[in-house]
Amino acid sequence: MSINLFDLKGKVALITGATHGLGMAMAKGLGYAGATLIINGASSQQKLDKAVNDYKSEGLNAFGYLFDVTDETSVQKNIKKIESEVGVIDILVNNAGIIKRTPLEEMEVKDFEQVLKVDLVSPFIVSKHVVKGMINRESGKIINICSMMSELGRNSVGAYAAAKGGLKMLTRNMATEWSKHNIQVNGIGPGYFATSQTAPIRIDGHPFNDFIVGRTPAGRWGDPKDLQGPAIFLASKASDFVSGQIVYVDGGILATIGKPSNED
Ligand code: GCO
Gap between the terminal Cα atoms of the chain? 47
Query: CA-CA distance, 147 to 153, in Å (whole number)?
Result: 11
Residue 65 β-bridge partners: 40
Q: How many CB atoms lie within 10 A of CB 4?
A: 12
Ligand 1 centre from 232 Cα, in Å? 22
Assign 204 a pLDDT band (cuts: 50, 70, 90): confident
Residue 187 β-bridge partners: 144, 246
Query: CA-CA distance, 5 to 250, in Å (whole number)?
Result: 24
Residue 142 β-bridge partners: 92, 185
Give the least confident one: 81-85, 154-158, 204-208, 229-233.
204-208
User: How confident is the model at residue 1, as a pLDDT?
Assistant: 65
Nearest Cα residue to 31 out of 16, 50, 13, 18: 13
Assign 197 a pLDDT band (cuts: 50, 70, 90): confident
- Residues framing ligand 1 (Cβ under 6 A): 99, 101, 147-149, 154, 157, 160, 190-192, 197-198, 201
Query: CA-CA distance, 46 to 85, in Å (whole number)?
Result: 21
pTM of the complete model: 0.97
Nearest Cα residue to 128 out of 67, 75, 181, 78: 75
Let me know if 160 is a catalytic residue. yes
SS (H, E, C) 119-152: HHHHHHHHHHHHHHHHHHHCCEEEEEECCHHHCC
Give the least confident one: 20-29, 91-100, 170-179, 255-264.
255-264
Ligand 1 centre from 148 Cα, in Å? 7
User: How confident is the model at residue 173, as a pLDDT?
Assistant: 98
pLDDT digits (tens, 9 = 90+) for 33-49: 999 999 999 999 999 99
Q: DSSP code of 183?
A: E
